[in-house]
Amino acid sequence: MTDPLIEVSGVTFAYPLPGGGRTIALSDVSMSIREGEFLAVIGHNGSGKSTLAKLFNGLLIPGRGEVRVAGMSTRDTSLHRAIRQVVGVVFQDPEDQIVATLVEEDVAFGPENLGLPRDEVRRRVEASLAAVEVEELRLRPPHQLSGGQKQRVAIAGVLAMQPRCVVLDESTAMLDPEGRREVLAVTRRLHRAGTTIVLVTHFMSEAALAERTVVLSEGRIELDGPPREVFGKRDRLRELDLDVPPVTALAERGRAAGVEIRGLPLTIDEFVSALP
Amino acid sequence: MSEPIVQVSGLWHWYLRGTPLQTVALQGIDLEIQSDDLAAIMGHTGSGKSTLVQHFNGLLRPHRGSVRVFGSDLSDPKLDVRPLRRRVGLVFQQPEMQLFDPTVGDDIAFGPRQLGCTPEDVRRRVRTAMERVGLGFEDFKDRYTFGLSGGEMRRVALAGVLALEPQLLVLDEPTAGLDPRGRRQLLDSLRAIHADGGMALVIVSHDMDVVGEMARRVFVLAGGKTVMRGGVREVFSRVEELRELGLGIPQVSELAYELRKAGRDVRADVLTADELAEALWTSSTSPAT
């Protein structure tokens, strides 16, 4: 058994409040992520999921407990450069993440900052643009792109650092349906190519695509398992005021009406073939 | 009695008009909103939706064609649009970014105070607006806006517009970025506000599930043109056309479509999970209208 890529042990994190005092975002959370895993994190706003995402690469440091990335503790700020080469984060609003005036310059920004030789920067930019299928946009100013294109450029910027893990923190929330489809397709392709994926999302249908779903509520991990197992715990989810994917809910109603439905369908395709 | 309150015909609009960077945003839009409407304007990013609705309260003026709102002709350069802005409330994307007063009550009171309402009237309007969005007056009026959740902040911003007591409320992507609970609460509030009467609601969105749940009539924009219009069921049953426009359909409609493709006998215009369950699992397949 290999060591986990990310190991979170006994982490508590609190934000200071403007008027004094603190608000607890995560309390005593432990989890580990294996290399190559595709993990979805779901929960309401304020459940702690974005805080967790920011702990994965040292953007936030736990108040108590420890986060280790490929064996390196995020507490040691001298390791942050190395840690951020292992774990890259893509945020919700692509506008916040794009720095340069041309797409290819934006993607080159990270590797150039690493002080890599020109040829290596070139090679990485090519590969990253190809991975998210935006090669034809390389000489365009980012502000002219659609939301999905911008978000894919932001992902390319992260890929150019050759991370072993990509964290998408609600990266599809602001996108239109086509933009969401584009970003999800890229995510699945990266996973198939061996990259570890952490997808933080509000969309239950997106969480259903992962191999493992972690449900956070009020700063604690409430459920953790394959989506089929997690979405099968309907009563617990209802207590947490969370939904299941719409097709799963529909299958449940069919079963309640006495229809024999095979298994627990999580996607439209599964639903169609689960009907008698 | 419903009557037309917005009449748009042959509307054209250009950005950076008269410069080498001129781009066309609207190319001949026709659309009408009724006084009791519950309508949606859908379209891809860049389709012209936001440009169109900014004509409804005179933020933009027509470059060609005409826009009449509550009888006022927006092509008339002498038209004073201020009275119009009281009757047409525009809620932009992520309106919580526009909260600026430290407390909830003061932020919502800003508009009515600007209108010159009496202190009693301001208080009444603030109380009513807060209740309509599900924020208890006593509970929330003195709370700091920065300490609220994203969903609560968005409802404060909506209450600020409702306190102007508009007759037409236009919301641009009202649920974007909200979590499932915040989304549900906001949509419930909007449904109740519309059911109270006296206000037309126009939702601008590319979230098909929101449109399917809320709207009765739908206008689809693409490349600055109105490419589809009709009842929400009719529009969402045109699956291939919507897909070609990069829009997709509500999940339930998509499921119904795939089931039909797989040879199941499911009618084309189902919109809600209830209807689909009924279509699939009861002998009667008559549409519930």
Does B187 contact chain A (CB < 8 Å)? no
Does B46 contact chain A (CB < 8 Å)? yes
CA atoms within 13 A on the CB side of B166: 28
- Cβ distance A201 to A40 under 8 Å? yes
> Residue A94 pLDDT > 80, yes or no?
no
pLDDT for A236? 93
pLDDT for B229? 96
**DSSP code of residue A171:** T
C-alpha torsion A154→A156→A158→A161, nearest 10? -150
Stretch 155-184 of chain B: residues touching chain A, C-beta under 8 Å: 176-182
pLDDT level of residue A168 (50, 70, 90 thresholds): very high
Q: Do A177 and B181 touch (CB under 8 A)?
A: no
> Residue A100 pLDDT > 90, yes or no?
no
Place of tokens 């042990």: A9
Q: Report d(CA A184, CA B249) in Å as an integer.
A: 17
Per-residue pLDDT, averaged over B71-92, amounts to: 92
Give the whole-number percent of chain B exceeding pLDDT 90.
Answer: 58
**Chain A residues inside the 8 Å CB shell of B23:** none
Within 10 angstroms of residue A70's Cβ, the number of other Cβ atoms is: 18
- AA letter at B177: G
∠ Cα B273 B132 B145 (to 5°): 105
Torsion A200-A201-A206-A211 (CA) sign: positive
Across A122-126, B195-199, B217-221, B263-267, least confident range: B263-267
Within 10 angstroms of residue A192's Cβ, the number of other Cβ atoms is: 10
> Residue B287 pLDDT > 70, yes or no?
no
Place of tokens 């291939």: B240
Q: What is the ipTM of this complex?
A: 0.70
Most B CBs within 10 A among A150, A176, A206, hence the mutation to make, goes to: A176
> Residue A49 pLDDT > 80, yes or no?
yes
CA atoms within 13 A on the CB side of A2: 10
Q: Specify the pairing of strand B217-222 against strand B200-205.
A: unpaired
Q: Do B281 and A272 touch (CB under 8 A)?
A: no
Most B CBs within 10 A among A17, A42, A45, A145, hence the mutation to make, goes to: A45
Nearest to A161 by CA among A273, A57, A7, A16: A57
Does B246 contact chain A (CB < 8 Å)? yes
pLDDT for A190? 92
Q: Do A250 and B255 touch (CB under 8 A)?
A: yes
- Give the DSSP per-residue string, B240-271: HHHHHTT----HHHHHHHHHHHTT----TT--
Per-residue pLDDT, averaged over B234-248, amounts to: 89
**DSSP code of residue B103:** B
- The tens digit of pLDDT for each residue in B90-101 reads 998 888 888 888
Nearest to B268 by CA among B281, B287, B282, B251: B287
- The tens digit of pLDDT for each residue in B24-35 reads 999 999 999 999
- Give the DSSP per-residue string, B194-211: HHHSS-EEEEEES-HHHH
The helix (H) or strand (E) run that includes residue A159 is helix A147-159
Within 10 angstroms of residue B54's Cβ, the number of other Cβ atoms is: 18
> Residue B248 pLDDT > 90, yes or no?
no
Q: Do A254 and B280 touch (CB under 8 A)?
A: yes
Within 10 angstroms of residue A246's Cβ, the number of other Cβ atoms is: 20
Per residue, what are the HEC states of A4-27?
CCEEEEEEEEEEECCCCCEEEEEE
**pTM of the model as a whole:** 0.81
Q: Where is pLDDT greater, at B108 or A260?
A: B108
- Cβ distance B48 to B26 under 8 Å? yes
Q: Report d(CA B249, CA B240) in Å as an integer.
A: 10
Among B176, B246, B262, select the one facing A272 at the smallest CB separation.
B262
Q: Report d(CA B74, CA A16) in Å as an integer.
A: 50
Does B149 contact chain A (CB < 8 Å)? yes
Q: Which residues have C-beta within 8 Å of that of residue A199, sequence separation ≥ 6?
A: A38, A39, A40, A41, A168, A187, A206, A207, A209, A210
- The tens digit of pLDDT for each residue in B128-154 reads 999 999 899 999 999 998 878 778 899
Sheet holding B4-15, edge to edge: B23-34, B4-15, B64-69, B72-73
